[in-house]
Amino acid sequence: MQKRYITWNDYLRNTFGEKIFKVPIDAGFDCPNRDGTVAHGGCTFCTVSGSGDMIVAPEAPIPVQFEKEVAAFHQKWPGVKKYIVYFQNFTNTHAPVEVLRERFEQAVTMPDVVGISIGTRPDCLPEDVVNYLAELNERFEVWIDLGLQTTFDTTSDLINRAHDYATYVDAVKRLRLHGINVCTHLINGLPGETPEMMLENVRRMVLDSDIQGVKLHLLHLMRNTALQRDYHAGKLQLMSRKLYVDTICNQLELIPKEIVIHRLTGDAPRESLIGPMWSLKKWEVLNAIDKEMELRGSWQGIADVRRFG
């Protein structure tokens, strides 16, 4: 079935002329709302291992992690020969720039690496770090995976993000001054957010920031998280698959067609997931999104808020 939105895979093929692996790396960073820099405890949805639950060998040195991930990928796609390194886990600019340079350079100098993607927060991008990222951007394809999660400061406070929306808008502006690609992350299903608020998150994000990509995630309720307590206290309702699919399709219609859709749902380890359990069938979810877009006769950007307000 032909996709009705611009996928990350399509973007990479058009840019590099071939399939590219995105290789996840855990570089041993922490987060400022975990270590006391701005808060304690981390985001309420985050596990003790952060977003790196699926990384093959997170404790290994960076070059070894790279080699193990590539070997695992090649079991399924043996013909792929080029890679983007993804510094995924926790906040990967939460360190002095000298530390970032040492760790990032280990990865980008690995064979056949053509780019780097760096997961971080908008409050961890001081000017010396942005300047180093600009330097990298002259050598490689650079993407900053910028965790926003919500545009509503009330929700941010509730989930312990410990930064506001204005900080995000400023961070994107400073990155874009150097032509650095930004992929913004949003989570659907956060506590207290209605489907209308989830649409408003996309509307604000598109209107307020010059971004080149977006990741839309489902809120996964994981064991041993602060959010688990909220769920058992009746303060959180998990999304149904139908509501999630409808919400994603509504959001896609608002997103301008030149913005790359990096992801429409996420992965979670079965043994740690409380729900929604339907999310484990990732391809069924993606197929349901495709089917709904086709039934609507719709596509990405049909209601582009940059054109229609």
**DSSP-assigned letter for residue 35:** B
With CA atoms as reference, report the closest residue to 268 among 187, 160, 167: 187
CA distance 155 to 193: 8
pTM score of the predicted model: 0.94
pLDDT of residue 266: 84
pLDDT of residue 54: 56
The pLDDT averaged over each successive group of 10 residues in the chain (309 residues) is: 89 94 92 92 79 61 91 87 94 96 94 96 97 96 97 95 96 98 97 96 96 97 90 89 98 96 91 93 96 96 78
Spatial CB neighbours of 284, under 8 Å, sequence gap ≥ 6: 278
With CA atoms as reference, report the closest residue to 65 among 42, 83, 47, 46: 83
pLDDT of residue 46: 86
CA distance 132 to 102: 12
pLDDT of residue 166: 97
CA distance 184 to 241: 23
DSSP string covering 141-162: EEEEEEEEE-S-HHHHHHTT--
Q: For residues 257 and 205, is the Cβ–Cβ distance under 8 A?
A: no
pLDDT of residue 56: 60
Task: Tell me what percent of the chain is helix, strand and coil, each rounded to the nearest 5.
Answer: 40, 15, 45
Cis ω for the linkage preceding 61 (within 30 of 0)? no
pLDDT of residue 213: 98
Per DSSP, the three-state class of 74 is: helix
∠ at Cα 46 (114, 30), nearest 5°?
Answer: 60
